[in-house]
Every structure is written in C-alpha cells, then in structure tokens.
Structure 1
Amino acid sequence: MKNHLSPSSAPALIPATAPRGSALLYGATLAVALLALPLLSGCADMAGIDSHARMRDPASLGLAAAPSSSADSAVQPQTAVSADWWRSFGDAQLDALITQALQGNPGLQQAAARIARAEAFADTARAAQSPQVNGSLDATRQRYSANGPYPPGQAGAVRSVETARLSGSWELDFFGKHRAALAAALGEAQAARADAEAARLLLASRVAQGYFQLARLQAQRAVAERTLQQRTEMLQLVQRRVQAGLDTQLELRQSEGALPEARQQIEALREQEALARNALGALIADPQTAQTLTPQALAAIHFSETPAAVPADLLGRRPDVAAARWRVEAATQDMGVARAQFYPNVSLTAFVGLASVGLDRFIEAGSREWGVGPALRLPIFDAGRLRANLRGKAADRDAAVESYNAALLEAVRDAADQLASSSSIARQIAEQHQAGESAQAAYGIARRRYEAGLGTYLQVLSAESQVLAQRRLAVDLAARRLDNQVGVMRALGGGYAATPPPTAQAPQAAPTVAAAR
C-alpha cells in the first residue's frame, strides 16, 4: 500500500494544545518543503547512465511462428506438460522414488530456505513504506558538575533523570524509492521460487534417469548372463566334437577362452549397477531403499510419443528461464531505487512523552513534552557516489538481461536437441529391430552348419558376436528412448507455470522449435 500525505492533512498531526503560531509555522514549513520538491528534484544529474542490454524475443532467434486455430492457442498450448509428468511412465515404483526424493532431498530444503529468506527481505521492504513507531524509557541517576553550566541547586547535586517517549516517523515515498525496493525484493522472491521449481524438476529428472539407467544395466547384465549360458553350451558342444574327433584343440581353446570374457563383462556390469544404486540412493536420500530396488523391465515401462514441434511459449514456462526473467525485473527495480536516491527524502517525525529531573515530578503535567515536524534531506555533493551506484545497478541489469538471453538460448538448444534425438532414436530402433532379426537368423544358420560339419567354429563366433552386439544395442536404445522422454519433459518446463513479470517480453505469436528431420 502506497502512503501519501497532502499539505492539508499535515496539521492534524499537531496536538490540540500546540500554540496557534507554531501550527501555522509548521504548516508553512511543510508547504514550502513540498512546493520545493519539483525544483530540488530537477537538480538530479543522471544523464548518460542507463541499461543498454535488450531481452531477446523468439523472432530474434529465428523461430518460425506456429499456426494457431484460435486466439487462446498460444496461451494454452496443446503440448503442455503435467506437473507430475513422471506418472506418464506408468511405473508405481518410479512414482514412489520421485515422491520420496522431493520430500527429503537436502538440495530442495536449501531452495526452500532461500525462498524464505527472499520473502523476509520482501517483508522488510514492505515495512519501509509504513510509519514506524518506537517507545523508549530511560532512567539515569546522575551527579551534575559543580563547575558546569548548571544553575544553582542543580550544580553539584545528584538527581534522577527520567524520560518516557513514544516517537514515530514516516518517510513519504514521493519518488518511488520504497515502491521500487519492494518490487525488486518481490522479483527476487519470485526468482527464488522459480529456482526451487527448477531444482525440483532437475531432481525428478535425475531420479527418473537414474532409475532407467539401473533398469538398463540390469537388462545388459541379463544379456551378458544369457551370453555366458550360450557360450557354456557351445563349450559342451565343442568338447563332444573333440571327443568324436570332429574338432581340434584349437576350437576347444577358442571356446574355453570365451567364458572368462563373458564373466568379466558380467562383473563390469555389476560394478556399474552398484554405482548407479549409490547415485540413486543419494538422490532419494535413502541409500538402503536403492540397494534393494528392482526396477521394471524396460519393455514394461510405458512410453509416450513426443511432439514434433514445441511452441516457444512452453520454453518461457521453464523455471530456469522464468527465474532469469524475474531477476531482470528485480534488477530493473533496483535501478529505480538508485535513481530515487538522487531526489530529496521527505519524512515526518513526531514524539510525545514525559521527562523530568527527579522521579517525584515525573508524572506531573509539567513533565509532558511533544514534538512534530517535517524533515527534508537532499544530496548536494557526494563526489559521484550516487552516479557510480546507478552505473553499477545499470551494469547489474545488463548482466541480468544477458543471463536471461543465455538461458533462453540454452532452452531453445535443449528443446531442439531433445526433439532431434527423439525422432532419430525412433528411426534407430526400427533399423535395429531389423538388424537384430537378421543377426539372430544368421547365428542360427551358422550354428546348424557347424553342428552338421559344414561350417567352422569361427563362423559361429562371428555370427554370435553380431547377435550380442544387437542385443546390447536394443537395450541401450530402449533406455535412451525413455531417457530422452525425460529430457523432453524437462525441456518443456516439467509443468511449471507462473505469472510472467511485468517487464517480460511476450512473443507476438507462438513460435515453434521443430525436430530435425
């Protein structure tokens, strides 16, 4: 709430017992001070100091505008992401992990503390707009100097001095300094909230990706264990053929050497799995749960198709971009505070109370005292301090704008990368499926020819290597597809929605970031 005091309302602050002449003098003084404000404010020298950085808009990034069927399509994009986007995977275990992480992660608790601190600063700035009232009570036992400027009877005597006073002050915000300070503090509070949402989104994304990584490693270990079993069966077959005189010791040694290699791969995957569990345990703040976790098979996790193009409106909803925009708003308001410091400060002060020498006279009517009056303070010469402060605030705003531009560019790149990977992974999965079927058929033929004595063991090993490579690739692509879906959700803001700051430059249309085809 903004406080203003007109000259006509000022005499109401004078107690009824004030002499009429004093009241007239007070009113005249206040009127002169208020009439002098425009003249005094004209002395403020802020020439040549301003912020020069400009916020980027979608058009400057070369983004094409998407056709819209209605005026509201840019406000409510069809590709909006749910705030609990991870539930789209249809995995209750993953839902529980992310919920647990969001409740107990220390990083989010730190973000909550930063929000509380920013809100406290905003409350402090808000309080500066209101009158301040203070009370004081002093009691001093004092001996007065016999050689000092005290009258007879008091000089050399020991007296008690008591003072009880209720004082108030109100700085009138004629030039908007307190309003700008409050707006800056509110901007920082909004930026802190957006930072907390960005941390929340990042944490949920990392938990989901860690979960899928663990599922990938378990699937890869299953492939390696099937490989070990398959090679054990081949060793038994070679041993029988050697005993029958159909193979030599060369084929036997080659078959035996394949087993340690398969066991080494299994052990390496177990190590990676242990590291993945440790990382996941740190994210959810519960290492014990991560050690006993058994994720679903990759094929059982639901996958949703990603959009081919994303409206840039959603990029503006990313919490990291929103936080950068709010910091631009806060920096802009800080410049307003710095400008207001060039102008006079006008305040009203008043006090009422009791004062006496001697406690026995403290509550007598004659011990009453009061005072009221305006105060006007204007910087005359400060050796360039105010201009330097304004230049610093202008530089801070330039830095905030460029930080916003960098965040916007990174958001565009991130979204474009995720969409490009999404379409590419889909094509890779289709090609790999065909390659996997061909490799499996070739391996079956090579093994049957070897068993019939029409092929060599090296041909079997070569065909088997192709099968194993395709199995591993299939697992990796399945995990990458899920990981990419998490990346798309993160790139689209993860369901974050907040009111943009007043200085945010809204796009004229809903541009799109399209996947590379």
Structure 2
Amino acid sequence: MNVKLMSGLSRRYIHTLRALLWLSVLSVTPGTARAIDVFRTDTSVARTPASAFANDAAHPCQFGQLEAPLHLAEAVNRALCENPKTREAWANVKVQAAAVGVAKSAYLPNLTANLQDVRDHAVTDVSGYPRLSSANRSTVYSGSISANWVLFDFGGRKAALANSQALLAAARANQDATLQTVFSTVATDYYAAQAAAGKLALAEDTERIAHDSFTAASARVTHGVAAISDQLQAQTSYAQATFNRAKAEGDLQAALGTLAADMFLSPDQPVTMPAAEDGVVPDQDFTASISSMIEEAQTIHPAIAAARAKLDAAIASEQQTRAEGLPNLSLIAKYSQNNQPASLGLGQPEFAATGRDWYVGVQLQIPLFEGLSRTYKVREAQAQTEVQADTLDEARQQVGLDVWKSYQALQTNIQSVGNTATLKQLAQRSFEVARRRYAAGVGSILELLTAQKALSDAKQQRIQALTDWRAARLQLAAKMGRLNAGDLRTEHIPPQ
C-alpha cells in the first residue's frame, strides 16, 4: 500500500516536472516571449521606427498611394518609417531594452528542473555461480528541482544593470540622431526636387519667351526693318533655351529619383512636386546668439546624449568587471526524487523503491586566482572609459562646428532671399522695357536678349534662394538636435 502511494506521488511529481518543462519551452517561443514582459522593457521602445515623428498619427507608418503633389510631411514620414538606417536604429533600441530585462532578471532566483525517464535493462552474469547471476528490466525515472539565488555580490548586478540602462539610453539617443539625420537628408532632397521642378517650369517659360523673341525678330527681318543678324541671334537664344529646358528635365528626373530612393521606393516611382512658393519672408526661429545656440546644441543634441550615455555605460562596465572578481553569496536549494530499484546484495532480487534527497543552505564563492586575467580586464575597462570620454569631447566639438557652419549658411540664405526678390523685380522691369523698345523699333535685339537672359537668371536664383533657405532652416535645426514633427507643418509660409 505504501509502495502504491509513493508510486502515485512520484507520478504526480513527474507530471509537475513535465509541466515546468513545457512552461520553459513556451517562455522562449517567439510569440510568447513577446507577450511576457514582466519588467515592461517595451515601454522604452517606440511604436514605429519613426518614433515621435509618426506616433501622433492614427495609423503610424502605414501608407497608401503617394500624394499628388507630394508634401514634405509625407516624404519625411515615409523615409523615417521605411529607411533601413532608421529601422536598424529602432532594432538596436529593442536589443538594449531586452538587455535591461536580462540585467534585472539577475536579481531573481534561478530554478532548474531535471527529468529522466529511461528503460533500464541490467544483466549480471557471474561465471561459475549461476545462482548469483541476475537479469532485471525496469523503467527508471529521476527528477530534481534546484534553486540558486544570489544574495550579495559586491555591486556586480547593480553595475550590470546600470551598464545596460546606459546602453539603452545611448541606443535611444542614437535612434534620435539617426532620425534627425534622415529627416534633414530627405528634406534637403525634397527641396532640391522642388527647386528642380521650379527650374523646369522656368526653363519652359524662358523657351516660350525666346520663341516669341525669335518670331518677332523674324517678322522684322521679313518686313526689312531689321538685319538678318537679329534673326540669327534670336534663333541662337531660342536654341539655347531649348537646350536648357531639356537639361532641366533631366535634372528634375534625377532629383525625383533621389527623393523616391529616400522614401525606400523605386527611383522610377512617379512623384509630383508642388510649386515653389514665392513672396516668403524668412522667419526668426533662430534669433539667439550663436554662442548660446552652440551651448544649447552641446547640451541637448542626440549625438552628445549618446556619447554621454556610452561613457556612463563604460564606467558601469568597469565597476562590473571589478565586482566580478569579488566574492558573492548565494542561497542554494535542491530537491530530487527517483524510483531506482533497491537490492539486498549480489544475486538478490530487486525491489521497488523511492529515493528522495534535498538540501538548502548558503554558498560563498571566492575567486582566488584567475591567472591575472582580472587585472587586465579591469585595465581594459578603464581604457574603454577613457575612449568614451574622448569620444564625448570629440562629439561636443563636432556639434559646435556643425551649428556654426549651419548658422552662417542660414544667415547667407536669408540675405539671398531678400536680394533675389529685388533682383527679380529689376530684371522683370528691364525685360519689359527692352521688349517694348524692340517692338517699337528703337531697341536692338542684343538689348532684348541680354534683358531676357538676365530675367531668366534672376528667376532661377530666386527659386534656388527660396529652396536653399528652407533647407538651411531644417539643417540648422538638425545640427542643434531640435528637429521634430512640428517642423513638417512649416511648408506653407504666409506671403509678404
């Protein structure tokens, strides 16, 4: 009766071990692992690769057909969501968030279950003494559960957690820096495509004007009031305008292909650009002194935050390396059970039996000698800390220089916007006067063609100045680490 009872207990124990085994398997399957997040590390990971740039949308990073015309907001959001660099930075944040979970799990006990269920066939053949020989077949199981809980380790786990948290902060800062860079790149390419579209429209308009001038010169030559040289000069200007229009078409297609590639689309994807707006007034978003702007950038820029976080991680890693060479105190426990048959001696029959073993206590591990490797590991960690400190200084210097250059470029473009507005107005008036004078027969064809070319150049300079100014604004914001979703809503600027 006792044997049957123990056998029932053993079977229940085996069932428990099997349940634990299946739970262990399920905990590492892809779908279940995503659902089990006791330490809520997923809260440190953005919903999408675009982070806050797309999280305010109802369905972030989900796109249909391209807008026609394409606006900057869609171009940037597509690029931030689909660009491999932003997705890689997002994945790195996931990696470091999981590493934080691993570091936190070191504070919990480790439980290990071991289960064996085997068919045992034991044969003992004693020569000359057949009565002592035996042959037994049995199904033998054994199971055990052991626990190990580190109670004290001189700060090793704390340093490991600090290291993983610092690396997570660095990964998030790197993601922000990547988003800023991709944002700036696609915005620059967007404005370049917009400028190319504007230049093509201007080239087509210039070709039409050149054709009108050629027609007027031909009519005057036909009526004998102008020399044939007038017609030839006008025809030459018309041919040059046709050549420029064809080149502008090629430049536009190249710019559109670059913009499509930024959005991770095929370069031959049809893209329609809005017209470049005229009559804009440069705003005063960046009115602070350049010294204060550099100081601000060196404080908040994601590249600085990433370098600072990596320095913190290196310091924590050094502390962890030192702690690994110190003693640690653990609580240990184990319980095991088996049904190994028992025998009274050689040649005696085996009897069903149940064996149990358990213990609980504390364990002190003291590293005594590691072949001097600990000394060099600590030196390596110290050197890594020095490297990260120098990297932080280098990042500060580079950010300051980038802000300085971008600020000067913006100031130049602000002046260019005003200068080209005046230049365009003067060139337009000069062309109208020259055209009327030539129509009245008091002006020369050279005067008309010169004014025509000056007007075309002024219009091109105006378009380029506007797009350069828009791009320079975003470039400075990116160099300062201040680009955000609000900058996508600054495309439409009120006229003068």
When normalised by structure 1's length, the TM-score is: 0.70
Between 448-457 and 205-214, report the one with greater CA deviation: 448-457
Other structure's SS at 2:71 match: helix
How has the CA–CA distance of structure 1 residues 235 and 257 changed in structure 2, closer, same or farther, with 3 Å as cutoff?
same
Cα distance, 1:361 vs structure 2: 7.0
How has the CA–CA distance of structure 1 residues 431 and 297 changed in structure 2, closer, same or farther, with 3 Å as cutoff?
closer
For structure 1, the 5+ residue unaligned runs are 1-82, 498-517
- For 2:339 and 2:446, how far apart are their aligned partners in 1? 112
Other structure's SS at 1:442 match: helix
How has the CA–CA distance of structure 1 residues 295 and 155 changed in structure 2, closer, same or farther, with 3 Å as cutoff?
farther
- For 1:300 and 1:434, how far apart are their aligned partners in 2? 11
Residue 129 of structure 1 corresponds to 107
How has the CA–CA distance of structure 1 residues 184 and 206 changed in structure 2, closer, same or farther, with 3 Å as cutoff?
same
Residue 396 of structure 1 corresponds to 384
Cα distance, 1:155 vs structure 2: 9.0
How has the CA–CA distance of structure 1 residues 483 and 452 changed in structure 2, closer, same or farther, with 3 Å as cutoff?
same
Residue 54 of structure 1 corresponds to none
| Residue 469 of structure 2 corresponds to residue 486 of structure 1 | no
Counterpart of 2:241 (choices 231, 253, 262) is 262
Q: Given that residues 407 and 476 in structure 2 are in contact (C-alpha distance below 8 angstroms), is that contact kept between their aligned partners in structure 1?
A: yes
Cα distance, 1:94 vs structure 2: 2.5
- For 2:315 and 2:219, how far apart are their aligned partners in 1? 83
| Residue 184 of structure 2 corresponds to residue 196 of structure 1 | no
| Residue 198 of structure 2 corresponds to residue 210 of structure 1 | no
Between 388-397 and 245-254, report the one with greater CA deviation: 245-254
- For 1:334 and 1:142, how far apart are their aligned partners in 2? 53
Residue 445 of structure 2 corresponds to 457
Cα distance, 1:302 vs structure 2: 8.4
Q: Given that residues 202 and 490 in structure 1 are in contact (C-alpha distance below 8 angstroms), is that contact kept between their aligned partners in structure 2?
A: yes
- For 1:242 and 1:482, how far apart are their aligned partners in 2? 47
The AA in structure 2 aligned to 1:319 is P
Q: Given that residues 159 and 319 in structure 2 are in contact (C-alpha distance below 8 angstroms), is that contact kept between their aligned partners in structure 1?
A: yes
- For 2:221 and 2:90, how far apart are their aligned partners in 1? 71
Which deviations, in whole Å up to 9, do the C-alpha atoms of 1:428-450 show, x marking residues without a partner? 22223333333333334444444
Q: Given that residues 93 and 168 in structure 2 are in contact (C-alpha distance below 8 angstroms), is that contact kept between their aligned partners in structure 1?
A: yes
Residue 114 of structure 1 corresponds to 92
- For 2:397 and 2:280, how far apart are their aligned partners in 1? 32
How has the CA–CA distance of structure 1 residues 492 and 375 changed in structure 2, closer, same or farther, with 3 Å as cutoff?
same
- For 1:303 and 1:153, how far apart are their aligned partners in 2? 106
Q: Given that residues 94 and 208 in structure 1 are in contact (C-alpha distance below 8 angstroms), is that contact kept between their aligned partners in structure 2?
A: yes
- For 2:478 and 2:371, how far apart are their aligned partners in 1? 50
Cα distance, 1:197 vs structure 2: 2.1
Other structure's SS at 1:170 match: strand
The AA in structure 2 aligned to 1:487 is Q
How has the CA–CA distance of structure 1 residues 348 and 194 changed in structure 2, closer, same or farther, with 3 Å as cutoff?
same
Q: Given that residues 427 and 451 in structure 2 are in contact (C-alpha distance below 8 angstroms), is that contact kept between their aligned partners in structure 1?
A: yes
| Residue 81 of structure 2 corresponds to residue 93 of structure 1 | no
Cα distance, 1:125 vs structure 2: 1.6
| Residue 299 of structure 2 corresponds to residue 313 of structure 1 | no
Residue 138 of structure 1 corresponds to 116
How has the CA–CA distance of structure 1 residues 108 and 207 changed in structure 2, closer, same or farther, with 3 Å as cutoff?
same
| Residue 278 of structure 2 corresponds to residue 294 of structure 1 | no
The AA in structure 2 aligned to 1:195 is N
| Residue 415 of structure 2 corresponds to residue 432 of structure 1 | no
Residue 335 of structure 2 corresponds to 352
Counterpart of 1:219 (choices 186, 194, 198) is 198
The AA in structure 1 aligned to 2:464 is D
Counterpart of 2:166 (choices 166, 187, 195) is 187
- For 2:170 and 2:387, how far apart are their aligned partners in 1? 15
Residue 278 of structure 1 corresponds to 257
- For 2:133 and 2:185, how far apart are their aligned partners in 1? 79
Which deviations, in whole Å up to 9, do the C-alpha atoms of 1:191-238 show, x marking residues without a partner? 222222222233333333232222211111121111111111110111
- For 1:362 and 1:457, how far apart are their aligned partners in 2? 120
The AA in structure 2 aligned to 1:335 is E
Q: Given that residues 296 and 480 in structure 2 are in contact (C-alpha distance below 8 angstroms), is that contact kept between their aligned partners in structure 1?
A: no
Residue 18 of structure 2 corresponds to none
- For 2:168 and 2:109, how far apart are their aligned partners in 1? 24
The AA in structure 2 aligned to 1:403 is T
Other structure's SS at 1:165 match: strand
- For 1:362 and 1:187, how far apart are their aligned partners in 2? 58
Q: Given that residues 180 and 336 in structure 1 are in contact (C-alpha distance below 8 angstroms), is that contact kept between their aligned partners in structure 2?
A: yes
Residue 307 of structure 2 corresponds to 324
Cα distance, 1:473 vs structure 2: 0.8
- For 2:156 and 2:125, how far apart are their aligned partners in 1? 50
How has the CA–CA distance of structure 1 residues 216 and 389 changed in structure 2, closer, same or farther, with 3 Å as cutoff?
same
Q: Given that residues 446 and 463 in structure 1 are in contact (C-alpha distance below 8 angstroms), is that contact kept between their aligned partners in structure 2?
A: yes
Residue 414 of structure 1 corresponds to 402
Cα distance, 1:378 vs structure 2: 3.1
Which deviations, in whole Å up to 9, do the C-alpha atoms of 1:52-97 show, x marking residues without a partner? xxxxxxxxxxxxxxxxxxxxxxxxxxxxxxx669x9xxx9933233
Residue 29 of structure 2 corresponds to none
Once the two structures are superposed, the pairs formed by residues 228-243 of structure 1 within 5 Å of their partners are 228-243=207-222
Cα distance, 1:470 vs structure 2: 1.4
